[in-house]
Amino acid sequence: MDPVPRVTFYRLIEEAAAPRRADRSGLGSLPTRAFRHCDAVTSAAGFGWHLCPPIDFELLWDGAGVWWRCEGLADWLPLGAAQYPRFADRFAAAAPPGLGDYAPPFLTALQEPGVVQVWTGLAARTAPGWSLLVRDLANLPRHPGYQPYEGIVEADRWFGPLFTNLRLTRTDTPIAFHAGQPFLQVQPIPQAAYADALLHGAALVANLAGLSAADWADYEASIVAPNRDPGTPPGRYAAEARRRRRGACPFAGAVPD
């Protein structure tokens, strides 16, 4: 029997690309040695899904206001709130009575200078007790023209457009977004993982004298023994992590539905 999906995506703009499983190679950008031997890096890069904009478009921040354009627009337009082309009519035709006038905007200039809300064309719903972390692409160089704000959406109780807020970091330079190019990563996380009770419960061992015999034994196994043995192959941690993933239940310890 298939496990209950922790995340269900809804494509509201039909031209939007489906979410793609995040790539452990960082879209091919990770060094070969890191890809082969550093499981910590590749696991972070491959955790979640990549999202793309639903259309090619450009933003321009002149230091005072934000301008935008896309295919079909002859010139830059000042950005207040902009609908995805022809989406409002589609939404009105599909929505139940009373909801047709509430199509989500595609782009919105927020009151903070240079901050723009961008809709992916998707909505999402998570299983009970799970949330979505919306963030920049993991282990890829940041785009020089913008920086996504990170946000945690409790999509098990809130259902609406899956968007992000971008802080534009360049003025007087067009910033291009492409429909086939990922610009966000979303990751499922159990709500218990960021609960105050859990975060307040962290312990601190204050100095070396506080390490137990078991701590020293684990340090020896993880760090010292491989360095003593010149025959230890590179990537031992990565190989052990892969074996552990293959042998473990993927939902062990997960928040129950």
Instruction: Kindly state whether residue 254 falls inside one of the protein's structural domains.
Output: no
Instruction: Kindly state whether residue 191 falls inside one of the protein's structural domains.
Output: yes
Pairing of strands 81-82, 77-78: unpaired
Question: pLDDT tens, position by position, for the chain (257 residues)?
Answer: 456 789 999 999 999 999 999 988 888 877 787 777 788 889 889 999 999 999 999 999 999 999 999 988 889 999 999 999 999 999 999 999 999 999 999 999 999 999 999 999 999 999 999 999 999 999 988 899 999 999 999 999 999 999 999 999 999 999 999 998 999 999 999 999 999 988 988 899 999 999 999 999 999 998 898 888 887 666 655 556 556 656 655 545 555 44
Give the bridge partners for 175, in sequence order.
59
pTM here is: 0.83
Tell me, yes or no, whether 17 and 144 share the same domain: yes
Could you tell me the residue range of the domain that residue 13 belongs to? 7-197
Three-state DSSP string of 32-45: HHHHHHCHHHHHHH
Tell me, yes or no, whether 161 and 242 share the same domain: no
- Residue 20 Cα to chain centre, angstroms: 11
Tell me, yes or no, whether 187 and 230 share the same domain: no
Residue 191 phi, psi (nearest 5): -65, -25
Identify residue 243 by its one-letter amino acid code: R
Tell me, yes or no, whether 227 and 109 share the same domain: no
What CATH number does residue 26 fall under?
A: 2.70.40.10
Tell me, yes or no, whether 83 and 154 share the same domain: yes
Tell me, yes or no, whether 139 and 72 share the same domain: yes
**Number of structural domains found in the chain:** 2
Instruction: Kindly state whether residue 204 falls inside one of the protein's structural domains.
Output: no
Tell me, yes or no, whether 120 and 190 share the same domain: yes
